Structure 1
Amino acid sequence: MSLVVPFRALRPIKSFASQVAAPPYDVMSCEEAKRFVRENPLSFLHVEKSEIDVPDAGEDDQRIYDRAKTNLLGLVGKGVLRREEVPVFYLYRQRVGERFQTGIVAGVSIADYEAGRIRRHELTRPDKEQERMRHIDTVGAQTGPVMLTYRRREAIDRLAERVAARPPEYDFTAGDGVGHTVWVLSDPAEIRDVVEGFAPVESLYIADGHHRAAAAATVARLRKDKNQGNRGEEGYHILMSVLFPQEQLRIMDYNRAVRDLNGLTAEAFLDRAGQKFLISEGYAGKSPVRRHEFGMYLGGSWRHLAARKEILGDDDPVAGLDVSLLQEHLLGPVLGIRDPRTDSRISFIGGIRGMVELEKLVDGGAFAVAFSLYPPTVGEMITVADAGKVMPPKSTWFEPKLLSGLFVNLLE
């Protein structure tokens, strides 16, 4: 199988695209999702976050996944979603003000993912991976794309420019002000150009969607084992993805909040933290503007933290990251967060929510302290992945997010 292949997406008919399209399942709480769908019964959140329709369900309730399947079939039955007659690629452009990012929507070989040609930079949380695996397997579809990036290819740039010059299939602005435009690439010559354009690419990199990717690979293994007539052409052999050139992607800060001070008084905590970080009172900026600096909200006020020289200088691509410095020299040894993947005392807050969200969490009493971080670059992310290493959990927050509901990959 080629690295990228066209596929027969299940997608909204043109007039319903803006109503169906929804934020991904993991950026909203249940209450936020319920408010989002209140005035839009066609929202794809009914599929991606179907627990909003099973109010009495526990976290591990199979009814959540069954309801997702029912809701997807309902959209098909109403004629809202239709499947492509033949395999195609898509061009997907997102606009934020004057900035835009343009990617190719494609099926990417699961075999290449398993072989390491599609590289990751984060470990997954077992519970979240299992949850997404059950969703994909029960629904029989990959309902949201994985965001991948690659080192720029001029041939792909030229193709995207040509395609974007013609009228689109979808073109709308979502409620958050982000514009979304989609073109269909069905011409055999264009399909060949995409396949050939990506053929020389040595590696693709997961930017966003590690849990989706890992879950899809698990489902593929399960289905291959069960399917005696496996042809190699079934939808579970591919990972539905959007591939962006690395220069176009933007990483925002991914901040942290911790529920308690690990038995320390505020004074003792500041004393311990000050051994590895220079601490300044009254940090009006709240959010750092350079590497190795942090904001800290504690007791109703902001402080500025700067990593001391003795904890810097490691050539290891992971150890020098700000998320690593905070984890290895403060969150772990001082606050007792040994494994941020599984510790329920820590929460991660995307930078899109701003510093106000960190203040709200601490001022509300549910959290004792919050930290704002300077984001890593896409280049740093790729360096880590190429070294076969992983960043600490929740190191990268990409904006804008890929919408769910515009493309669905059926497994059979």
Structure 2
Amino acid sequence: MNTAGDNDVSGLDLIPFRGVRYVPERVGSLAAVTSPPYDVVVRPDGLLHLESADPHNIVRLILPQATTPAARNQQAADTLHTWLGEGILAPDAEPSLYVYEQQDSDMLQRGVIGALRLSEAADGIVLPHEGVMAHVVEDRAALMKATSANLEPLLLTYRSETDGEHEPGGAMAVVERTALREPLLSTTTEDGFHHRLWAVTDPAEIAEIQSDLAHHQALIADGHHRWATNLRLRAEHASPSAWD
């Protein structure tokens, strides 16, 4: 595993974590509890559609509805606590990196989900290319503090070592091998996209991913406000902490 300290990290430092996932037997369907990112949900019609799709749709956490911001955030925190207590959501038994796949008739994309360490040099490792609005960062930070949860990931992209003429190595090799295994879950959402998720728990495979990514920067493909929010929360809390 990559054990370099903050001052030694020159690239992405991706850390296994215990993902909190829906328990399939406790919801109507996995497709019915999904949602697009908070900032592309069409309101109010799209929001109502998602809320009515299943009483446990994730939109109730990422876009809670109440009369004031404080009430909205408290509602999300209470909902998350209730769902965990009732077994609607449950943490995985051991820390993992996760391989996630999205596919439709025209496109296939796979990637790795992990907890990305926010080092002092993070701004030189993850590369934003858009500005952010302060009130949106304030809103997302308040929600994350109220729930003590990171409810939505960023989407990052990086240039791999392979040139297309050779077999992929490093993180890409682990992703491709993992995609041949039985997934933890799979579903097809109403937009026609097929989704599959796997957990990578083998220490050797985790080390292979970490060693590869430690040499890479990444560009934000989606989630500039989420990135700015994470940096803000890290700065507000003494390190080391979960906000790192």
Question: How does the TM-score come out when normalised to structure 2?
Answer: 0.85
Is 1:192 the counterpart of 2:207? The answer is: yes
Are the structure 2 counterparts of residues 165 and 25 from structure 1 closer, same or farther at C-alpha, using a change threshold of 3 Å? same
CA distance in 2, matches of 1:161, 1:114: 28
**1:143 matched to which residue of 2?**
151
2:164 aligns with: none
- Contact 2:31–2:190, Cα closer than 8 Å, also in 1: no
Aligned residue for 1:215, secondary structure, equals helix
Offset of 1:18 from its aligned partner?
Answer: 3.1
Distance in 2, matches of 1:205 and 1:195, equals 17
Q: Secondary structure at the match of 1:50?
A: coil
% identical equivalent positions? 25
Cα 1:114–1:161 shift into 2, 3 Å: closer
Cα shift readout 1:133-160 (whole Å, capped 9, x = no counterpart): 1111111111000000000243222211
Give the letter for the 1:44 counterpart: I
Counterpart residue number, 1:170: 185
| Structure 2 SS opposite 1:165 | coil
AA matched with 1:194: I
Once residues 105 and 172 of structure 1 are traced to their aligned partners in structure 2, the CA distance between those partners, rounded to angstroms, is 18
1:80 lines up with 2:76 in the alignment: no
Over 3 Å counting, the alpha-carbon distance change for 1:88 and 1:146 in structure 2 is same
Deviations 1:226-265 (A, max 9, x none): xxxx5x3x4311xxxxxxxxxxxxxxxxxxxxxxxxxxxx
Name which of 28, 33, 40 aligns with 1:20. Answer: 33
Q: Distance in 2 between matches of 1:100 and 1:115?
A: 29
Does the 8 Å contact 1:136/1:216 carry over to 2? Answer: no
RMSD of the TM alignment (CA)?
1.7
Task: Say which structure, 1 or 2, has more relative contact order (CA 8 Å, 6+ apart).
Answer: 2
| 1:185 Cα deviation from its structure 2 partner | 0.4
CA distance in 2, matches of 1:165, 1:183: 10
- Contact between 1:14 and 1:169, CA under 8 Å: does it hold in 2? no
Equivalent position SS for 2:129: coil
With the length of structure 1 as denominator, give the TM-score of the two structures.
0.52
The aligned residue for residue 250 of structure 1 is none
Cα distance in 2 for residues equivalent to 1:97 and 1:135: 36
Aligned-partner Cα distance in 2 for 1:145–1:185? 18
SS in structure 1 of the partner of residue 114 of structure 2: strand
Is 1:213 matched up with 2:230?
no
CA distance in 2, matches of 1:167, 1:137: 35
2:242 to 225, 228, 235: 235
State which structure, 1 or 2, has the greater radius of gyration over its C-alpha atoms: 1
Q: CA deviation at 1:95?
A: 0.6
Alignment of structure 1 residues 2-401 onto 2, 5 Å: 3-15=13-25, 16=27, 17-28=30-41, 29-51=43-65, 54=66, 57-58=67-68, 61-111=69-119, 114-153=122-161, 154-155=168-169, 156-201=171-216, 203-224=217-238, 230=239, 232=240, 234-237=241-244
Distance 1:49 1:113 in 2: 31
Q: Alignment partner of 1:38: what SS?
A: helix
CA deviation map 1:44-93 (0-9, x unaligned): 00000102xx2xx14xx210111111111121112011112322100000
How far is the alpha carbon of 1:113 from its aligned partner?
Answer: 6.1
Unaligned segments of structure 2, at least 5 residues: 162-167
Q: Assess if the C-alpha contact under 8 Å between 2:118 and 2:231 holds in 1.
A: yes
Q: How many residue pairs align between the two structures?
A: 223
Please, which runs of 5 or more residues in structure 1 have no aligned partner? 225-229, 238-412
Q: Which amino acid aligns with 2:48?
A: K
CA contact (8 A) 2:32 2:189 kept: no
Is the Cα–Cα contact under 8 Å of residues 132 and 225 in structure 2 kept in the other structure? yes
**Structure with greater strand share of residues:** 1
**Following TM superposition, by how much is the alpha carbon of 1:98 offset from its aligned partner in structure 2, in angstroms?**
3.7
Give the AA of the match of 2:173. R
Name whichever of 29-38 and 192-201 sits farther off. Answer: 29-38
Alpha-carbon distance in 1 for matches of 2:172, 2:126: 21
Separation in 1, partners of 2:237, 2:121? 16
Provide the C-alpha distance between the structure 1 equivalents of 2:24 and 2:78, rounded to a whole number of angstroms. Answer: 22
Deviations 1:180-233 (CA, angstroms, capped at 9, x unpaired): 1101101111111111121221x1111100101111111122122xxxxx5x3x
